[in-house]
Amino acid sequence: AGMGRTVVELFYDVISPYSWLGFEVLCRYQHIWNIDLRFRPGFLGGIMQQTGNKPPAMLPKRAEYLLKDVKRMAKYYQVPIKISGDDFQRIFRTSSLAAMRFITAIDMTKPEYLEPLSREFWIRFWSQVSILRRSVILPVAQQAGLPSELSQKALEMMSSPTVKDRLRETTDEAMKYGAFGMPAVVAHYNGEPHLFFGSDRLELLGSVIGK
> What amino acid occupies position 13?
D
Residues 41 and 170 sit within 8 Å (Cβ to Cβ): yes
Residues 124 and 130 sit within 8 Å (Cβ to Cβ): yes
Active-site residues: which are they?
Answer: 16
Pairing outcome for strands 6-12 and 35-41: parallel
Order of strands, sheet of 192-197, starting from the edge strand that comes earlier in the sequence: 35-41, 6-12, 184-189, 192-197
Query: With b meaning 16 or more CB within 10 Å and e meaning fewer, what string describes 24-42?
Result: bbbeebeeebebebebbbb
Residues 197 and 16 sit within 8 Å (Cβ to Cβ): no
Residues 55 and 91 sit within 8 Å (Cβ to Cβ): yes
The terminus-to-terminus CA distance of the chain in angstroms comes to 17
Closest to 167 in 3D by CA, of 89, 83, 124, 105: 105
Residue 16's Cβ-side half-sphere holds a number of Cα atoms within 13 Å equal to 28
